[in-house]
């Protein structure tokens, strides 16, 4: 279906939390893949669907051990696990040293993700620039989304990345709900001369992020994190389906009863 790369230039703007939230509410079948060569966090952050811990040895590392003989959709799903709430994930490496033996994997993996017939893939690629070989996966993406915060250092790094990436990207601002609209407008102004597909937003919501680590339910569904993630996921999926550019992102919805729980359709 489609490969969506989620990444950042400046460290730790919240890409993994954003990727998990987007996967939880994605409007089509989806696989969340941890593709950060520096190592992943999901195995230590979130429980499996049965309440147990995820197996950190089953995922990208175990897939890489057998993928030299050929990489296809069925093989990928032999190495996935399911999170609480029903989200299928390909767990990432446990440390950056493991990436040294997998430099050949990123291009074939990107092509396999892009060719998955039954699901979109959200690939959490972490911080770009630290491992140049991840560019082979990024090159296969249908959409690249860069995450940033509305701070001077993050924006400076964002502009540098835009000058290097060589393709149209989407930008998502992790924004304080108290200054949500103004933060997005400021980023739109700063990147107005660049080849940017859209500027969207996701609420900075530490309480929602903590709820995301546990059992998904009503409180999480009413959080600003999930409500803005749902808006962003709907927009991205529609843009991919239409092959066009998204429109403006609205201000974050006020807290209140959500229409449905976070879920993954399979």
Please indicate, yes or no, if residue 205 is contained in any of the structural domains.
yes
Indicate whether 247 belongs to any domain.
no
**Residue 250 falls within a domain, yes or no?**
no
SS3 147: strand
Confirm whether 63 is domain-assigned: yes
Q: What is the pLDDT of residue 220?
A: 83
Q: 87-110: buried (b, 16+ CB within 10 Å) or exposed (e) per residue?
A: bbbbbbbbeeebbeebeebbbbbb
Tell me which residue range forms the domain holding 20: 3-242
Q: What are the structure tokens assigned to 252, written together?
A: 């974050």
| CATH code for position 212 | 3.40.50.300
**Would 256 be classed as within a structural domain?**
no
Burial category of 153 from C-beta neighbours within 10 Å (exposed 0-12, middle 13-18, buried 19 and up): exposed
Domain presence at residue 248: no
Residue 249 lies in a domain: no
How many structural domains comprise the chain? Answer: 1
For residue 90, being part of any structural domain is answered with: yes
Write the CA distances from 6 to 23, 204, 256, integer angstroms.
11, 17, 28
Q: Which residue has the tokens 């197996």?
A: 55
Structure confidence by residue, pLDDT tens digits, 247-263:
444 455 544 333 333 34
pLDDT in tens for each of the 266 residues of the chain?
899 999 998 766 789 999 999 999 999 999 999 999 998 888 888 888 888 999 999 999 999 999 988 898 889 999 999 998 889 999 999 888 898 889 999 999 999 999 999 899 999 999 888 888 899 999 999 999 999 998 888 988 898 899 888 889 999 999 999 999 999 999 999 998 898 999 999 999 999 988 887 655 567 888 999 999 999 999 999 989 887 444 444 455 544 333 333 343 33
DSSP 34: E
264 near 23, Cβ under 8 Å?
Answer: yes
β-sheet bridge partners, residue 175: 203
**211 sits in which H/E element:** helix 206-212
């Amino acid at each position: 279906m489609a490969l969506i790369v989620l990444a950042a230039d400046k460290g730790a703007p919240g890409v993994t939390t954003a990727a998990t939230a987007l996967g939880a509410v994605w409007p089509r079948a989806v696989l969340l893949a941890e593709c950060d060569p520096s190592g992943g966090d999901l195995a230590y952050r979130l429980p499996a669907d049965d309440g147990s811990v995820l197996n950190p040895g089953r995922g990208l590392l175990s897939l890489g051990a057998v993928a030299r003989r050929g990489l296809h959709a069925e093989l990928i799903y032999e190495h996935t696990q399911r999170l609480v709430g029903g989200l299928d994930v390909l767990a990432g490496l446990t440390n950056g040293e493991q990436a040294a033996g997998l430099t050949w994997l990123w291009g074939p993996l990107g092509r396999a993700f892009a060719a998955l017939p039954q699901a979109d893939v959200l690939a959490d690629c972490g911080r770009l620039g630290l491992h140049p070989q991840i560019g082979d996966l990024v090159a296969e993406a249908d959409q690249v989304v860069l995450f940033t915060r509305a701070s001077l250092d993050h924006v400076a790094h964002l502009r540098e990345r835009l000058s290097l990436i060589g393709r149209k990207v989407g930008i998502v601002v992790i924004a304080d709900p108290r200054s949500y609209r103004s933060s997005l407008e400021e980023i739109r102004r700063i990147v107005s001369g660049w080849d940017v597909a859209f500027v969207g937003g996701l609420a900075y919501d530490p309480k929602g992020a903590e709820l995301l680590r546990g059992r998904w339910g009503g409180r999480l569904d009413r959080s600003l994190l999930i409500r803005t993630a749902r808006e962003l996921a709907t927009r991205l999926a529609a843009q991919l389906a239409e092959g066009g550019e998204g429109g403006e992102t609205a201000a974050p919805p006020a807290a209140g009863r959500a229409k449905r729980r976070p879920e993954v359709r399979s």
